[in-house]
Structures are given as structure tokens and as C-alpha cells.
Amino acid sequence: MHQSTTEPDCPRNPVKPLLNMTSDHQPANEVIRQVFEKTALSVGDDFFKTLTRNLSQVLGVPYVILARLEDDGMLHSLAFWNEDHFSDLECYDPDIAPCGVALKDGSYFCARDVQQLFPKDQDLITLQAQGYFGMALRDSGGRVIGNLYVIDRRPIEDPTLYRSVLAVFGMRAAAEIEREQQTQKIQSLNESNTHLYSQEKEKSKHLASALERPEKMQVKLVQAEKSAALGQLLAGVAHEVNNPIGCIIGNIEFLQSHTQDLRTALALYQEQSANLDSSVQQVIEELELEFVLEDLPKVMTSVEASAIRVREITQSLRNYSRSDCQVKEGVNLHEGLDTTLLILRHRMKAKGDRPGIQVKKCYGDIPKISCCSGPVNQVFMNLLSNAIDAFDDANRDKTYQQLEENPNVIEVKTTFLPESERVQVTIADNGPGMSEVVRDRIFQAFFTTKPEGKGTGLGLSISWDIVTEMHQGQMRCLSKVGEGTQFVVELPQQRAG
Ligand SMILES: Nc1ncnc2c1ncn2[C@@H]1O[C@H](COP(=O)(O)OP(=O)(O)O)[C@@H](O)[C@H]1O
Ligand SMILES: [Mg+2]
């Protein structure tokens, strides 16, 4: 703190608030006009600089400084015209400087020796300051917000001109500082709003995904449980069937060679005993022995073929029932589709009240792909069983004859899309189709239009996850009421990750 303001040379000069515009003060008037012309169109930083430079030139003082009072009580220079250029001035403490007095008293005039009066103020020494005139700047609420001052290397004899000019431009500068402060406040408010907004958005995203998570978890649990149970069942059945089938296939060979031996023996026997008893001859004829002997190898072959087929089925059931995502290379989707159709065959066979559902296979030339075959088969199962469910539902209103004329058809089509290196599987039915409202929701977990106990509403949502998340593929549904339904599944040839 300084005590210098009581010095006779440096009396405190509370500023007269208004500029005296009489003809006695023509120079002030002229100075103001000149500075006003130069600064009228500038704002903000530009104004601060134009003002200090022009004041210096018009008033003929080397240094003019405009500073803002910060919340921490320090002054921060907004523009410092230093003789012939702008200089930077660090934040400085007004308490050791004449500015402190100006801020406190509204204005401060020191005609000479200001350096000695404020010995701690290094800047005054550097500038070789003698005279000082400062004017506190006030905002619209009367609060001091800065200081506009001139420093001269010579004594200032008459402060009148400075007082008038700084009073006018001090007001304009204060208004400009206030405007800048408000702009900054609005900006930071906007920024914090934007920040808050994005924070809230992020939060709500987290919240949404947190809310979604239990549902997804539940879906996954149900899926895992269902798949595991189905898998265990299928694997168990396949295992149980495998041994007897192995036994059948293994023994058919013996059976064939044994029957061949018997046929040879029988032929020999017939040759040797030309005159068979008529009753024996009769039995032979009744048994159609000749036909039996001829047919037996064919029966054997067909039994063997069927047994081999059963073994293939059990094998594919065991593969099919894999529910985990073990990526397999070289998966043939046609095999998965065929097995699924085979498993569902009992649901598509003709029944008393309706003819069978026809399956049209349009298999294209598709490459083998790398995918999780178990889950992919589950997708085919879900899509095909939904089509059958839809037929079942719609068939209730139709007669056998109507259905024969317009049969239920499921078309399974596969294509390779070389541009995207994807395999496209289309499963289409000519069933009842869906309304737009239903179609928009089918991939939502737990959405079902089926009666309780029949639908879980999980099939398509699980399929969606398997196709899009597990395989980075695509899935879409095209459907209209009365025009059937088409599901398109696209799986990349190479599974990423
Ligand atoms: N092929 C289809 N034809 C008509 N509607 C279908 C078909 N596939 C699915 N849907 C509709 O989508 C709904 C959801 O199917 P999904 O997720 O498999 O659950 P769920 O079969 O247990 O109902 C079904 O309830 C049905 O309304
Ligand atoms: Mg379903």
C-alpha cells in the first residue's frame, strides 16, 4: 500500500462525471471527436487497441493503458500502447501502483515524480514515469471493473484535458469490457450447458444401456438355457441312437453275406432235390421264394442306406446342437438349412385337416463360410418355425381344398453377394404376413403376437443378436398383411474378430 495520495503534488482528483463541452474546452472537444471517429466502429479487443493508440497520439503521451480488474484484485492489461507499439503487461498488483488509488478514488492524478511515490512499482521505473492520470472504469451497476490511464515521462501540468477525454472513453471502454464479460459469461454458460447436455446425454445413454442390460442378460440367459437344454437333449438322443445304428450298420454286412450264403445253399438244395414233396413245393410257392430271394439283397441295401442316413442325421444333430459360439471354418450353410428342415419335417407333413407345407429350395452357388454354426442354425430354426406357426394360425380359417389350391410354401434361397463377400439366406413364406405395427416390433425381446405359452417373443431378438452382433451380419424383414413374409439374413464369408 502506498501513502502518497496525500502529497501536495499529487492531490486526489475525484473526477467530475461529465465532460465540459463548452468552447473553453475546444481542444477536449476536438480530441474526443478525433478519437471517437477512429474508434467508433471497433469493438472488443480491436476497440481497446484502437483507443489506447489513438489516445496516445491525440493526447501526445507515450503510454496509454487499459486494464481490467480481475476477481482476485489484480489488474490485467487489455491494451498497452507503448510509444509506438503495443506491449504486453503481466497481471499486476494495483496496491503498489498509482492505479490502486485510481480504482479506490475513482480517479488519480499525479503531476510528477510518480516513480518516487510508488517505489515498488517496477513498471514506472522502466517507463521512466513522471506524470500519471488514471480513471477507474465502472460497469452499469457502478462496480469498478478496470482502469484507463496515461503515463508521461514529463510532468503533467494540466489534467483537464485528460480528465475530460478519459471520462468519455472510460465510459465507452467500461461498456465494452462489460459487454465482453457478459459475452464470455454467455459463452461459458453455453459451453457448460453444452457440456451438461452432452454429460446428460452420455448419462442417459449409460442409463438406457444399463436398463437394457438386464433385459439383454435375461434374453441371453434364456437363450443359453434353452440352447443348452435343447443341445443336451439332442446330443443325448443322438448318442443313444448312435450305438444301435452302429450295430445295425455293422451287422448289415454280415446279414448280406449270410443271406447270400443261404441263397446259394438253397439253390443247391433245390437242384439236388428235384422231386420235392408237393406240400413243400406248395409252401415255396406261397412264400414266393423266388421273389424273396431276388428282393432280399435290395431290401438289405435299402436298410443299410437308411441306417447310414440315420447315422448322418444323429451326427448332424450333434453338430447342430452346439449352442456355443465356436467359430468353425468351412461351414456349409446348406447343411444347416437341410438339417433344420429335416428336424421340422414332422411339422410340415400333411395332416388330416391340411395338406403338407411345400418347401422350395433355391440353393445358389455359395462358398463355405466361417461362422458359429450352432447359433446360425438356431436362426434358421427360428425363422422356419415362425413361418410354420404363421401358417398354422392362418390355416385354421381355411378348408383342405382351399389349401390344396393355394398351398403353403416356404422358399429357402441362398445367394452369394460378391461385392460385400456375404452369403444371403432368404426364408420366405406365403403366409398371412404382418401389419406394419407388428413388423416394427418383431426384433424386440419378448414381443409376441402368439398366445401365452406358445410364443416367447425371443426367437427373432435372439436371431438378430446372433446375426448382427455375433457375426456382424445383417437381418431384415419384408412383410405385408396378406402378402407373406420374407426374412433376409446376410452373413459375412469371413467372420470378423
Ligand atoms: N413368418 C412370419 N409370419 C408372420 N408373423 C411372423 C413371422 N415371423 C415372425 N412373426 C411375428 O413376429 C413375432 C415375434 O417372433 P419371435 O421373436 O420368433 O417370437 P414368438 O415366435 O415367440 O412370437 C411373432 O409373434 C409374430 O407375430
Ligand atoms: Mg418364434
Q: Is residue 10 in some structural domain?
A: yes
CA angle 258, 259, 261 (to 5 degrees): 65
Query: Within a domain: residue 380?
Result: yes
Question: Residue 109: which pLDDT band, with cuts at 50, 70 and 90?
Answer: very high
Taking CA atoms only, the protein residue closest to ligand 1 atom 10 is: 386
- Extract the C-alpha cell encoding 174: 467500461
Which residue, 138, 162, 185, sits at the end of a domain? 185
Distance, CA of 81 to CA of 38 (rounded, Å): 15
Residue of 353 and 98 predicted with greater confidence: 98
Ligand 1 pocket, mutate which of 391, 444, 460, 486 (most atoms under 8 A from CB) = 460
- The mean of the pLDDT values for the chain is 83
> Which of 7-21, 126-140, 372-386, 455-469 shows the lowest mean pLDDT across its residues?
7-21
Q: Could you give the C-alpha distances from 452 to 411, 446, 447, 449, 490, in angstroms and in order? A: 29, 11, 12, 9, 31
| 388 pocket-lining for ligand 1 (C-beta < 6 Å) | no
> For residue 140, with 0-12 CB atoms within 10 Å meaning exposed, 13-18 middle and 19 or more buried, which class applies?
exposed
Q: Whose CA is closest to atom 4 on ligand 1?
A: 433
pLDDT at 476: 97
479 against 317, higher pLDDT: 479
- What is the model's pLDDT at position 142? 85
- The DSSP call for residue 94 is G
Going by CA atoms, what residue is nearest to atom 9 of ligand 1?
386
Task: Indicate the SS3 state at residue 1.
Answer: coil
pLDDT of residue 23: 38
382 or 10: which leads in pLDDT = 382
Q: Which bound ligand lies closest to the C-alpha atom of 388?
A: 1
pTM exceeds 0.75 for this model: no
> Does 285 have pLDDT greater than 80?
yes
CATH code of the domain covering residue 70:
3.30.450.40
Q: Which three cell numbers stand for residue 323?
A: 449352442
pLDDT at 218: 62
Instruction: Give the residue from 124, 151, 185 where a domain finishes.
Output: 185
Would you place residue 16 in the very low, low, confident or very high pLDDT band (cuts 50, 70, 90)? very low
Q: Is the CB of 431 under 6 A from ligand 1?
A: yes
Strands (E) across 246-334 are located at 327-331
To which residue does cell 454286412 refer? Answer: 253
Provide the terminal-to-terminal Cα distance of the chain, rounded to the nearest Å. Answer: 71
Ligand 1 mean position, distance from CA 409 (Å): 17
Q: What pLDDT is recorded for position 215?
A: 62
Whether 390 is in the pocket of ligand 1, judged by its Cβ within 6 Å, is yes
Query: What distance in Å separates the CA atoms of residue 35 and residue 58, rounded to the nearest whole number?
Result: 7
Share of the chain above pLDDT 70, in %: 84
Strands (E) across 197-351 are located at 327-331
Ligand 1: does its nearest atom lie under 6 Å from the Cβ of 32?
A: no
472 lines ligand 1 (CB under 6 A): no
Q: Return the pLDDT at 480.
A: 95
- Cβ–Cβ under 8 Å, residues 320 and 341: no
301 part of a folded domain? no
How much distance in Å is there from the Cα of 464 to the middle of ligand 2? 12
Summarize the confidence of residues 460-471 as an average pLDDT: 89
CA 197 – CA 497 distance, rounded (Å): 35
- Look at residues 426, 424, 423, 427 and name the one whose alpha carbon lies nearest to residue 367: 423
180, pLDDT greater than 90: no
Question: Percentage helix, strand, coil, to 5, in the chain?
Answer: 55, 20, 30
pLDDT tens digits along 143-160: 899 999 999 999 998 888
- SS3 label, residue 74: coil
Nearest CA-CA partner of 326 in 231, 233, 418, 237: 231
Strand pairing partners for 362?
413
Whether residue 377 has pLDDT greater than 50 = yes
Nearest to 388 by CA among 355, 348, 351: 348
165 lines ligand 1 (CB under 6 A): no
Q: Poorest-confidence range of 110-119, 131-140, 288-297, 388-397?
A: 288-297
Domain boundary pick from 164, 185, 206: 185
Asked if the structure places residue 253 within a domain, the reply is: no
pLDDT at 319 over 80: no
CATH number (domain holding residue 427): 3.30.565.10
Is the confidence at residue 1, as pLDDT, over 70?
no
- H helix runs in 78-159, sequence order: 98-105, 114-117, 122-126
402 occurs within a structural domain = yes
- Tell me: the pLDDT tens digits for 428-444? 999 999 999 999 999 98
Contact 133, 162 (CB under 8 A): yes
Give yes or no for residue 52 having a pLDDT over 90.
yes
Domain that holds residue 34: 4-185
The answer to the question of residue 392 being in a domain is yes
How much is the pLDDT for 358? 97
The structural domain count of the chain equals 2
Question: Ligand 1 center to residue 448 CA distance, Å?
Answer: 6
Q: 245 in a domain, yes or no? A: no
Would you say the CB of residue 459 lies under 6 angstroms from ligand 1? yes
Query: What was the pLDDT predicted at 222?
Result: 62
pLDDT at 211: 60
**Could you give the residue ranges of the DSSP H alpha helices within 330-430?**
333-343, 345-348, 373-395, 400-405
Between 66 and 206, name the one with better pLDDT: 66
- How confident is residue 416, by pLDDT bands cut at 50, 70 and 90? very high
Rg (CA), the chain: 49
DSSP H or E stretch at residue 465: none
124 found inside a domain: yes
- 52's grid cell: 489506447
Shortest-distance ligand to the CA of residue 447? 1
Q: Are 316 and 238 in contact (CB under 8 A)?
A: no
Number of C-alpha atoms within 13 angstroms, CB side, residue 137? Answer: 26
Amino acid 226: pLDDT: 62
pLDDT band at 214 (very low <50, low <70, confident <90, very high): low
Q: Is the pLDDT of residue 348 over 80?
A: yes
Return d(Cα 237, Cα 316) in angstroms, integer: 12
Segment 471-495, tens digit of pLDDT: 999 999 999 999 999 999 999 998 6
236-240, 345-349, 356-360, 386-390: least confidently modelled range: 236-240
Per DSSP, the three-state class of 370 is strand
Q: Which atom of ligand 1 is nearest to the CA of 456?
A: 22
